[in-house]
Amino acid sequence: MENLRIDGKRLWDSLMELAQIGATGKGGVCRLALTDPDRQGRDLFVRWCREAGCSLEVDAVGNIFARRPGRNAALPAVMTGSHLDSQPTGGKFDGAYGVMAGLEVLRSLNDLGIETEAPVELAVWTNEEGCRFAPAMMGSGAYAGVFTLEETLARRDGEGVSYGEALDAIGYRGAGLGGRPVAAYFEAHIEQGPILEAEGKTIGVVTGAQGQRWYEVTLTGQEAHAGPTPMARRRDALVGASRVVSLVNRLGLAHRPDACATVGMLEVHPNSRNVIPGRVWLTVDLRHPEDGKLQALCAEFERGTRAIAAAGGLELNLKEIWHSPARPFTGELVSAVRSAAERGGFSYRDMVSGAGHDAVYMARVAPAAMIFVPCAGGISHNESESATPGDLAAGCNVLLHAMLERAGVCGARA
């Protein structure tokens, strides 16, 4: 059993074929959640899972579950999964790797003629990225009961299209939500940060994920003519917004090395070069591995933003739209990942995830852990995102062995 290996070339080829769906000019992908490219990615996934002999189910928020039976159908499944949606200028591996690695595990079990004791399941979670519909990790969050079905389906994108409408448009609205018996959930992912590469390690044994809070800020001043309006009389919303951007960046730097603080979106109204901006909407993403420190960071941000608005004579609407607390993964499963890395002869280190992942919400309803592999320069959420076939295969081998340890093997062809 110790020598079982997945097929690294097949894993790589599947990733490259999937990456043709929504391919962008600079070598990345744009598969925004519940758009036609997302549907095409799902259709390909479903076809590949059927060809691998799996049964398929889709739930009420569009999460897809492929199932390979075990000897004992009464046992809770050992599950893996990730997401197929991407950022607008996303890479080929974020999410897709975890899904294709799970598929490669299923295909390898077939090739090796392995019967597991427990069933094995592979999930595709809807809208992990949170860029078309905010917040992130929505499908797994709805599955885990963090978001209700109604509020999930009612979320709207920037064009006013609801999640439910978009789900119907791609034909992926199924039935039921949550409650699948899951003995263990593992998720493989690229690290999306620079640590593994810098230290020359192949496997990240992920012990948990940092906490994050998302805000939406609207500053309202007064639109006025850019020529005749004296500087002293202005209530310029963009000047206020630029101070908020500086504040966010300053707070991130002040709480180095663990804090992360980002303004990712900015909308200026009316966005005309000779009108003093009357209204600006912006998003803020604050993260820290310790909940207490994240709380303090958020309090400083809220206080500072209020002061900026008051000083600029601006009306402020400050909304916290999402809080995902720091989430430690399950010790036993983290150990299973560590020991699979060790037995596979791969270099490894423990680490905390800087990014959010579906495993964070799955950890609320089942034991969960993650496996990271390096990505070039630590760059992700970028079309140039890249990882080596060897590292991707290593992570998939760790996934195979961690899953087999939990699922139990009753037999294999000689």
CA distance 167 to 161: 10
Which of ligand GLV, Mn ion, none does 405 bind, CB closer than 5 to 8 A by kind?
none
| Least distance between ligand GLV and beta carbon 246 (Å) | 22
Min CB(85)–Mn ion separation in Å:
9
Considering beta carbons, is residue 279 or 381 the nearer one to Mn ion? 381
Considering just the CA atoms, what is the radius of gyration of the chain in Å?
23
CB closer to Mn ion, 94 vs 236: 94
HSE toward the beta carbon, residue 123, CA cutoff 13 A: 29
Residue carrying the six token digits 């803020």: 284
Q: Which of ligand GLV, Mn ion, none sits in contact with 59, Cβ below 5 to 8 A by type?
A: none
The minimum distance between CB 53 and Mn ion, in angstroms, equals 27
Draw the binding track, 22-61, toward Mn ion (x: CB under 5 A; -: no contact): ----------------------------------------
> In the structure encoding, which two tokens stand for residue 398, read together?
């760790």
**Residue pair 211/288 in contact by the 8 Å Cβ criterion:** yes
Tell me the C-alpha distance between 285 and 283, whole Å: 7
Cβ nearer to ligand GLV, comparing 41 with 70: 41
For residue 394, the partner it binds in ligand GLV, Mn ion, none, with Cβ less than 5 to 8 A by kind, is none
Q: Which helix (H) or strand (E) holds 216?
A: strand 211-220
Please state the closest distance from residue 357 (CB atom) to Mn ion, in A. Answer: 6
Closer by beta carbon to Mn ion, 94 or else 121: 94
For the bound state, the minimum distance from the C-beta of residue 5 to ligand GLV, rounded and expressed in Å, comes to: 30
* Short-list 171, 195, 180, 208, CA closest to 333: 208
Among all chains, which residue has been given the structure tokens 């070069």? 273
28 binds, among Mn ion, ligand GLV, none (CB under 5 to 8 A by kind): none
Closest CB to Mn ion among residues 129, 236: 129
CB of 89 to Mn ion, least distance (A): 11
- Residue 356: contacted member of ligand GLV, Mn ion, none (CB under 5 to 8 Å, by partner type): ligand GLV
- Decide which of ligand GLV, Mn ion, none touches 136; Cβ closer than 5 to 8 Å per partner kind: ligand GLV
Under the rule (CB under 6 A), what is the footprint of ligand GLV? 129, 136, 355-356
Dihedral over Cα of 120, 124, 130, 133: its sign? negative
Residue 141 interacts, among Mn ion, ligand GLV, none and using kind-specific CB cut-offs from 5 to 8 Å, with: none
Q: Pick one of ligand GLV, Mn ion, none as the site partner of residue 95 (Cβ within 5 to 8 A by kind).
A: Mn ion
State how far the Cα of 333 lies from the Cα of 369, in Å rounded to an integer.
6
Q: Which residues contact 32 (CB under 8 A, 6 or more apart)?
A: 38, 85, 86, 88, 129, 131, 132
Q: If contact means CB under 5 to 8 A according to the sort of partner, which of ligand GLV, Mn ion, none does residue 385 touch?
A: none
Beta strands in 292-334 (DSSP E): 315-324, 327-328
Nearest to 128 by CA among 31, 245, 203: 31
By CB under 5 A, the residues from 67 to 106 that bind Mn ion are 94-95
Neighbours of 310 (CB within 10 A): 11
> With binding defined as CB under 5 A, does residue 385 bind Mn ion?
no
368-373 and 182-190 as β-strands: parallel, antiparallel, unpaired?
Answer: parallel
Query: Packing angle between helix 96-111 and helix 389-407, nearest 10 degrees?
Result: 60
CB of 224 to Mn ion, least distance (A): 40
Nearer to ligand GLV, 119 or 356 (CB): 356
Cβ at position 205, least distance to ligand GLV in Å: 19
Minimal distance, residue 122 CB to ligand GLV, in Å:
20
285 makes contact with Mn ion (CB under 5 A) = no
Q: Which residues contact 209 (CB under 8 A, 6 or more apart)?
A: 326, 327, 329, 352, 353, 354, 355, 356, 357, 359, 360, 370
Closer of 77 and 260 to ligand GLV (Cβ)? 260
Positions that interact with Mn ion (CB under 5 A): 94-95
